[in-house]
Structure 1
């Protein structure tokens, strides 16, 4: 089968988040499953190219195609355009201060139009990622193109929503005004008077998948902010319909390991962990305490629960009040969260590196006793995979892909610790209690803690297994649709 894989970001060229990781790692794994796959992504730099023109927004726009022979066996074609992908637009996503997503919606509706040129030449399947190419499926429907359509949802919270008032005069207005397709483009909240690119992509897909099984189930449920539950963010009814028709699948993404786990490698990791722990402890007054690490972005999704208050004190401060607990953080993100961390890191049992420091992040993942992931929602997550590969058990909120990746420590095959809750207070209290529980196991049951480390280290998250699922559970059903 021939697959055209379209994405706004792709490592090693440019990566803003998890989409870039998947785009750079899944296609090579699919190629090994005998899928004839090609990646298409915008070019945010300079290189040699060929060119053609596309009519867009009532004017002709130059398109320049940049081909690299292959990346890990997969050919890559770059779409180059100075107007939409260079200068201030020379990055996958840009900030629109006046109207959220306005610039990116225009840029990626243009990218969708440009990709029609390639789709008409081939393939069997067009595979898009998230909202940014939802317009493409609308244009394919208008052009009556017969290729099958697959959409991977990495984060249902980003939907490419924009008011029809702002949309006035844009080329995507043609989709909105189409009697047959327009209703599928409308945001499901009529009071918003908006169009929704992700909904359009979902409605016109032959098959949809998310990056974990549990996230696919959660996407079918309404959000519940009172319990920190994101659900489908307004698209739950669409997702539930797809699931009911057998058109929604969850597939946990893989993880690129430096080396396969072996007894020797595990013993070596324990030696490395001891050295990393000794280095990490040098920044703390109590060098023999329980070390809890946080590696990730200081944004609401990843960090918000730690700044929530309970009985007049933040959750992180409550954790720091637990005797013998040390917390090491490496992060960058929202100014208010960074300011909060500057305040709490004045404590002798807390350090905070407020910059992207890969070496420091690695030392925390390796040197900590447990890595903390108190996320509001998690489509899949990669920190838990990284920490487990370092023989460091994660402590997660039981949500999304974390449910699929981490086994509770209370089971014989347990790989980590976790918490949940049906109300705001329950979630926050259970987060604090889970830290107490993890510390207790570390202090009082060292053999059991060692088993949890080894179980996590031995847990495979191979791209080869994910690729097999994409072929059998997504591509083949799409071709039969």
Structure 2
């Protein structure tokens, strides 16, 4: 049987370079699909850090000239094999010979126009690989479906190749002047019009990917639904509604080998569901000591690990932060971003050092220790396409407190005191006091209901966020687009397809489905007060606790604010 052939195109890929969550997806999803019998290969730019680190492994295939406006530019094609996956790299020192993955925006226009044209030139005979599907990701690859149709399929090349376009964050769209794109990409008015590439007179790479691909998906089902309304649609909601027949959402997975409290070398003590309460207590004491907080086992420890931006709900947190700290809790913040948020968080920590510790930086090992040592994980995002942090937090037994949006809504099942179900806490509206009341409610469960708390922690830790379910959904999507059926090649039906990979090269210029089966936890371990817990019920990715409590329902909070900033950013930041 001829295998299904997929070329996965991304501007960043773990383990080579990472700026945001796109790199994690590009590193893990191909591994999971390959384990299921897909011949999937990955192509990305050959940035200088990659060339330096992997120079002894890279194999040169060929070079060619790519026409870009009035110039013909050198394009090298190199390859290497890693963890059973073939990776291709597009080489050009003028465009990619820098340590920075994303550079000045006006230059990035030209860089990624070149990259997309070079990818299509390499398909077929040059790389001896004719893909059935080209899987494109975010604006940096959004023109590929259009260029494939305009320059190749219309001339008899790659006629059977389909395109899938994945939106990781709709906010970053790649908006440029139409004259420049006409020149760089040799596109005529047949494509540069309001029914095609243009949006309000400007070339929009994101829109081009939506219009010309055979299918569009986002990184969570809820986000796919949300972006078809004007609040979340970033100006493209009408376009997405028009193409809703080919729009779907598949939840991202998590590398459960890397994020595993039973083996993670970054945390002071290992634990699993059999000793999670005791293990987390040790990690909590160690974290409090490391960050200079009073070592108090009975104080709830909240954590926030994030880019410090408006999207992440920092305005909500800052509005009620003092009132939250007045409830005798501790808060640890790790991250960097906009200076207004950095300064505000530093100021509160300086006033209340016994309750709050702030680290304005990102440190992967410290992040692991915070996940392991915290009781609650704050993620009050205004919007969140998927989010990985809440999955990591649950993987380490830290209960998320999230706003019900995008992937947060799809992964966090809010605790219900009457039915006993849930694996975290959530609130509906973009409202600071809903965040406050939900947090206080969570603290009340922590302090007064040991058995329910223990059940919640175990349920969170045992939730299944591996790539297995995501890969199965992508495989069905690929098969539907091509009509090619694939026999699962994985001998282990529970295999996640997640590689063990070295750390990616740093990127110095930047700092974030469907339900599947989960194994239910065994009998609960002793709670913090020494009481015996109860068994829990598995419910797919959201594992449900079954130990109701009897506290009063939390207040509903004020009405939601009616808007947020709609300022468009052309930066290449990712989640």
Query: What TM-score do you get using the length of structure 1 for normalisation?
Result: 0.88
1:212 aligns with 2:181: no
CA distance in 1, matches of 2:377, 2:314: 16
Shift of 1:187: 4.4
Correspondence for 2:509: none
CA distance in 2, matches of 1:86, 1:429: 48
Correspondence for 1:318: 323
Instruction: State how many pairs are aligned.
Output: 447
SS at match of 1:156: coil
Correspondence for 2:123: 119
Structural mapping, 1:6-405, within 5 Å: 6-45=9-48, 46=51, 47=55, 48=58, 49=60, 50-69=62-81, 71-87=82-98, 90-94=99-103, 96=104, 101-121=105-125, 122-143=130-151, 144=153, 145-146=158-159, 147-164=161-178, 167=180, 170-172=183-185, 174-175=186-187, 177-180=188-191, 182-188=193-199, 190=200, 193-223=201-231, 231-243=232-244, 245=245, 247-258=246-257, 265-282=272-289, 283-285=292-294, 287=296, 288-306=298-316, 314-321=319-326, 323-346=327-350, 347=352, 348-405=354-411
Where does the alignment leave 5 or more consecutive residues of structure 2 unmatched?
263-270, 485-575
Alpha-carbon contact 2:413-2:424 (below 8 Å) kept? yes
**In the TM superposition, what whole-angstrom CA distance separates every residue of 1:313-343 from its partner, at most 9, and x where no partner exists?**
x23233223x211111111112221111210
Once structures 1 and 2 are overlaid, which stretch shifts more, 274-283 or 298-307?
298-307
**In the TM superposition, what whole-angstrom CA distance separates every residue of 1:226-246 from its partner, at most 9, and x where no partner exists?**
xxxxx1111112222222x2x
Shift of 1:416: 0.3
Match of 2:444 among 428, 440, 457: 440
SS at match of 2:194: helix
CA distance in 2, matches of 1:150, 1:169: 23
Higher relative contact order (CA 8 A, sep 6+): 2
Query: What TM-score do you get using the length of structure 2 for normalisation?
Result: 0.74
Alpha-carbon contact 2:261-2:396 (below 8 Å) kept? no
Where does the alignment leave 5 or more consecutive residues of structure 1 unmatched?
224-230, 309-313
CA RMSD in angstroms, aligned pairs only: 2.2
**In the TM superposition, what whole-angstrom CA distance separates every residue of 1:88-143 from its partner, at most 9, and x where no partner exists?**
xx43212x3xxxx3222211111011011123441111110011111222211112
CA distance in 2, matches of 1:148, 1:412: 46
Alpha-carbon contact 1:220-1:239 (below 8 Å) kept? yes
Quickly say closer, same or farther: Cα 1:182–1:267, change in 2 above 3 A: same
Shift of 1:286: 7.0
CA distance in 2, matches of 1:374, 1:441: 19
Shift of 1:307: 5.6
CA distance in 2, matches of 1:361, 1:168: 41
SS at match of 2:273: helix
Alpha-carbon contact 1:413-1:455 (below 8 Å) kept? no
SS at match of 1:266: coil
Correspondence for 1:227: none
Alpha-carbon contact 2:401-2:425 (below 8 Å) kept? yes
Correspondence for 1:461: 465
CA distance in 2, matches of 1:448, 1:203: 49
Shift of 1:303: 4.4
Shift of 1:436: 0.6
Quickly say closer, same or farther: Cα 1:356–1:285, change in 2 above 3 A: same
**In the TM superposition, what whole-angstrom CA distance separates every residue of 1:269-327 from its partner, at most 9, and x where no partner exists?**
3333111111233333472321111111112212433466xxxxx23233223x21111
